[in-house]
């Protein structure tokens, strides 16, 4: 047998969690918390006043529904059928070795052959494989609904996920309520993947930001609809479509999202079908700086210095004169190659500048581009260079942080190398980049 002694260390973690849970239970001002994807802005999903607080803090359009976060499967079953929740507390469950992952309480969650389970059977392979984790599923809204109507924003279904972050699940469990939580950015801004990102956008609008460090995944959850046939991906995210396709019943899952926010963006329905995840129609993920995206065509990597056509030209940079120019590199294109090999005598990409170590998986190198015009007049342009590496997971992890960091350092324009579009997380990365970009070059 063993004893739990509350040490100062426990208190250091637990007291902010307890405070956050108390605020969530007793007030209508949202609390920001980390998840493995991005920071969320949470409120008790069963209380209208609390959920309204999320929309006003974010400046979020009220027709964009929120994802409900649960700590364990019994909380989800409780939402789907209150009777099951009551019964579950009195029933002892047999141990089944071929089981779903265990929930927080060590309760066996496997109910594949159980017709009483309110979780639809087609979702069970996904839950077993991806929960807790970055996958949101749509479920029919029970009647009467235990959720505040503002959560679903008049959609017939609600979106729900069980986050992998232990901090997030602990907060939900301590609150004892499912938490509605969108990403904790101001509407249209890049999603927050560190506590300071939340503070930057929402200072004074949230009462507490739980700091869990930088988010592992860095892009939001994949949203799937298994209530329609064939099942559909409504938003690409931390779970790739190939991984979904390997699950029983999900082999034929289709993509039902558009990458360009311009499509149907003005909401007048003239520019094509309305997206089925309503959030996908809005301008999104945008830093203050103008974003120019270079699509990585056909997986072909540009060799540095080939100099023909693509890449950032010196003219791009001089047009942005006055401030700073940012580069986000992923190896898809050598966007800075056009500068290095432009043939201009005094073109200089100096990497000897200040190095800033971040916890976001990237370093910003600051250099200067010295330009000399025909009259011999010199001007210089600050260059901010971020390399996110070649691994798409690393790119996803650092992407939103890099956009914000370059904004903070004063970039007027950010040139970003895309990654080749695949069936893994690269779909999520390219989706976010295409939405953030005001210009796309092939
Ligand atoms: O990773 C994530 O999902 C993060 C963290 C905090 O969990 N949350 C997040 O929430 O990204 P948000 O609100 O920024 O994006 C939710 C997306 C939107 O595109 C929304 O339209 C869609 O999910 N969605 C939510 N509920 C829905 C519903 N009932 N029907 C259709 N789409 C829904
Ligand atoms: Mg969001």
Is residue 49 within 8 Å of 161, Cβ to Cβ? no
pLDDT band at 416 (very low <50, low <70, confident <90, very high): very high
Q: Measured from the CB, is residue 64 less than 6 Å from ligand 1? A: yes
Measured by CA distance, the residue closest to atom 21 of ligand 1 is 279
95 has pLDDT over 80: no
pLDDT score recorded for residue 378: 75
81 has pLDDT over 70: yes
Lowest mean pLDDT among 106-115, 163-172, 182-191, 246-255: 106-115
pLDDT one-digit tens code per residue, 375-405? 877 777 788 889 899 899 999 999 999 999 9
* 208 CA → ligand 2 middle, Å: 19
Measured by CA distance, the residue closest to atom 10 of ligand 1 is 182
Residue 440 pairs with which residues in a beta bridge? 293
Backbone angles phi, psi at 385, to 5 degrees: -115, 120
313 has pLDDT over 60: yes
Cβ-Cβ contacts under 8 Å for 79 (sequence gap 6 or more): 68, 70, 142, 146, 147, 160, 178
Q: Measured from the CB, is residue 61 less than 6 Å from ligand 1? A: no
374 has pLDDT over 90: no
237 has pLDDT over 80: yes
Ligand 1 pocket check: which of 62, 279, 396, 435 to mutate, most ligand atoms within 8 Å of Cβ? 279
Cβ-Cβ contacts under 8 Å for 112 (sequence gap 6 or more): 100, 121, 124
- CA pair distance 352, 365, nearest whole angstrom: 8
* 277 CA → ligand 1 middle, Å: 8
Per-residue pLDDT, averaged over 108-115, amounts to 56
pLDDT band at 82 (very low <50, low <70, confident <90, very high): low
Q: Measured from the CB, is residue 214 less than 6 Å from ligand 1? A: no
- CA pair distance 287, 436, nearest whole angstrom: 8
Count other Cβ atoms within 10 Å, centred on residue 309. Answer: 10
- Read off the tokens for 46: 């069963």
* 408 CA → ligand 1 middle, Å: 27
Q: Give, in order, the Cα–Cα distances in Å from 136 to each of 67, 161, 238, 349, 440.
A: 8, 5, 10, 43, 29
Asked casually if ipTM beats, i.e. exceeds, 0.95, the reply is: yes
270 has pLDDT over 70: no
pLDDT band at 84 (very low <50, low <70, confident <90, very high): low
Per-residue pLDDT, averaged over 275-299, amounts to 71
CATH topology (fold) of 12-281 = DHBP synthase (3.90.870)
* Domain-wise residue ranges, the chain: 12-281, 290-441
Average pLDDT, rounded, for the chain? 82
Q: Give, in order, the Cα–Cα distances in Å from 237 to each of 134, 244, 271.
A: 7, 11, 25
Which ligand 1 atom is nearest residue 235's CA? 19
Q: What is the DSSP letter of 259?
A: S
Per-residue pLDDT, averaged over 131-150, amounts to 96
- Match 């920001």 to its residue by tokens: 32
pLDDT score recorded for residue 306: 42
Q: To 10 degrees, the CA torsion angle through 49, 50, 52, 58?
A: 150
pTM: 0.86
pLDDT one-digit tens code per residue, 162-180? 999 999 999 999 999 999 9
Per-residue pLDDT, averaged over 296-322, amounts to 57
pLDDT score recorded for residue 20: 97
Per-residue pLDDT, averaged over 234-259, amounts to 96
Ligand 1 pocket check: which of 65, 209, 276, 397 to mutate, most ligand atoms within 8 Å of Cβ? 65
Per-residue pLDDT, averaged over 13-33, amounts to 94
Three-state SS letters, 189-245: CCCCCCHHHHHHHHCCCCCEECCCCCCCCCCCCEEEECCCCCCEEEECCCCCHHHHH
Per-residue pLDDT, averaged over 84-99, amounts to 46
* 63 CA → ligand 2 middle, Å: 13
- Read off the tokens for 164: 């992998």
């Amino acid at each position: 047998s063993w004893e739990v002694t509350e040490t100062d260390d426990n208190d250091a973690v637990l007291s902010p969690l307890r405070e956050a849970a108390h605020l969530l239970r007793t007030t209508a001002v949202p609390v920001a918390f980390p998840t493995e994807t991005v920071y969320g802005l949470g409120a008790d999903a069963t209380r209208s006043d609390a959920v309204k607080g999320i929309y006003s803090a974010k400046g979020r359009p009220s027709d964009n529904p929120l994802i409900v976060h649960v700590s364990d499967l019994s909380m989800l079953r409780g939402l789907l059928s209150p009777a099951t929740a009551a019964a579950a507390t009195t029933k002892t469950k047999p141990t089944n070795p071929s089981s779903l992952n265990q929930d927080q309480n060590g309760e066996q969650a496997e109910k594949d052959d159980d017709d009483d389970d309110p979780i639809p059977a087609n979702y069970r392979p996904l839950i077993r494989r991806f929960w807790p984790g970055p996958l949101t599923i749509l479920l029919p809204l029970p009647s009467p609904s235990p959720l505040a109507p503002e959560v679903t924003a008049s959609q017939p279904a609600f979106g729900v996920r069980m986050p992998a972050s232990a901090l997030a699940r602990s907060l939900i469990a301590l609150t004892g309520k499912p938490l509605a939580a969108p990403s904790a950015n101001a509407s249209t801004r890049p999603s927050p993947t560190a506590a300071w990102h939340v503070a930057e956008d929402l200072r004074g609008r949230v009462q507490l930001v739980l700091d869990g460090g930088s988010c592992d995944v860095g892009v939001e959850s994949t949203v799937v609809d298994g209530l329609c046939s064939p099942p559909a991906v409504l938003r690409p995210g931390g779970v790739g479509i190939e991984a979904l396709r390997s699950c029983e019943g999900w082999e034929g899952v289709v993509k039902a999202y558009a990458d360009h926010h311009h499509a149907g963006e003005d909401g007048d329905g003239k520019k094509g079908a309305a997206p089925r995840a309503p959030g996908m129609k809005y301008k999104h993920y945008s830093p203050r700086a103008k974003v120019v995206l270079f699509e990585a065509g056909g997986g072909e990597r540009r060799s540095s210095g080939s100099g023909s056509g693509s890449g950032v030209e010196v003219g791009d940079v001089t047009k942005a004169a006055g401030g700073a120019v940012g580069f986000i590199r992923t190896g898809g294109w050598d966007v800075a190659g056009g500068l290095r090999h432009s043939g201009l005598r005094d073109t200089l990409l100096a990497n000897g500048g200040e190095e800033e170590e971040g916890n976001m998986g990237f370093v910003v190198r600051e250099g200067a581009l010295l330009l000399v015009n025909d009259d011999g007049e010199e001007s210089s342009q600050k260059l901010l260079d971020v390399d996110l590496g070649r691994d798409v997971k690393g790119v996803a992890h650092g992407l939103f942080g890099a956009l914000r960091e370059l904004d903070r350092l004063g970039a007027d324009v950010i040139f970003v190398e895309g990654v080749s579009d695949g069936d893994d997380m690269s779909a999520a990365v390219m989706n976010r980049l295409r939405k953030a970009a005001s210009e796309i070059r092939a």
